[in-house]
Amino acid sequence: MATSTYHPDTTGCTGWQGNADATPNSTLAVSGESEYTSGEKTDTSSDNGTTVSQGGARACHRIRFTIAEAEGDVTQLDFKFNADSSGPGGVDYDLFVYDDNGSTWGTSRATNTSAFSDYDFTASITTSVGNYIDGSGNVFALLMIDGGSGKTSLLLDLAELVVTYTESGGNNRNLLLLGIG
Ligand SMILES: [Ca+2]
Ligand SMILES: [Ca+2]
């Protein structure tokens, strides 16, 4: 097993900020979203207190991790989103991962219902991992305020995906050893 780590500023990856119309369902994109600038990709690629802020109702950050590993080699996806909030609590902050096979964001994988200054949203996928990787190697995750309060902002500090995979060549190496034997 080996791992690779991806952030919005990793080659091929990017993010968007916007305001969802509702709890995400089947639509991959969020209405009114705008893609991160290169500076915003950098700002969301390390947990250093430099954030990208999105305000308004159902503020959200949608990240596309484009992974280099072959889908069939991937055994686990581990997400970590570190964020700050401003304004009152009492709303849900939710992390979603897009199921490309079912064309749905599904249910929240990590939740915080209070205002917070520094919080890690984490989620791990260990079964049917290929369902979450599309035909172009894209994995999508979304952190959003799942509520109506426009007085709260969602400040994304870090978006990270760690991909665990079987190293290619393993089977070939075994065949080679059989050949020597
Ligand atoms: Ca932080
Ligand atoms: Ca940051």
**Each residue's pLDDT tens digit, 122-165:** 999 999 999 999 999 999 999 998 876 566 889 999 999 999 99
Q: How far is the CA of 48 from the centre of ligand 2 (A)?
A: 5
Q: How far is the CA of 43 from the centre of ligand 2 (A)?
A: 4
Q: What is the domain extent for residue 116?
A: 2-177
The larger pLDDT score, comparing residue 149 to residue 176, is at 149
| Ligand with the closest atom to the CA of 43 | 2
Three-state DSSP state, 116: coil
Q: How far is the CA of 58 from the centre of ligand 1 (A)?
A: 21
What is the CATH classification number for the domain harbouring 69? 2.60.120.260
CB 55 within 8 A of CB 29: no
**178 pLDDT above the threshold of 60:** no
How sure is the predictor about 50, in pLDDT bands with cuts at 50, 70 and 90?
Answer: very high
**96 pLDDT above the threshold of 60:** yes
94: β partners: 111, 144
Q: How far is the CA of 168 from the centre of ligand 2 (A)?
A: 33
Angstrom distance (rounded) from CA 174 to CA 161: 30
Per-residue tokens: 36: 């991160």
Q: How far is the CA of 33 from the centre of ligand 1 (A)?
A: 23
CB atoms under 10 Å from CB of 51, counted, come to 20
Angstrom distance (rounded) from CA 77 to CA 133: 10
pLDDT more than 90, % of the chain: 70
Domains in the chain: how many in total?
1
**175 pLDDT above the threshold of 80:** no
The larger pLDDT score, comparing residue 77 to residue 176, is at 77
Q: How far is the CA of 40 from the centre of ligand 2 (A)?
A: 9
Residue tagged 């791990």 (tokens): 124
Q: How far is the CA of 119 from the centre of ligand 1 (A)?
A: 7
For residue 30, what pLDDT is reported? 87
Q: How far is the CA of 46 from the centre of ligand 1 (A)?
A: 8
The larger pLDDT score, comparing residue 140 to residue 19, is at 140
**Each residue's pLDDT tens digit, 65-79:** 999 999 999 999 999
Q: How far is the CA of 50 from the centre of ligand 2 (A)?
A: 4
- Could you tell me where the beta strands, DSSP code E, fall in 40-179? 52-55, 59-66, 74-86, 93-97, 110-112, 119-125, 138-145, 153-165
How sure is the predictor about 13, in pLDDT bands with cuts at 50, 70 and 90?
Answer: very high
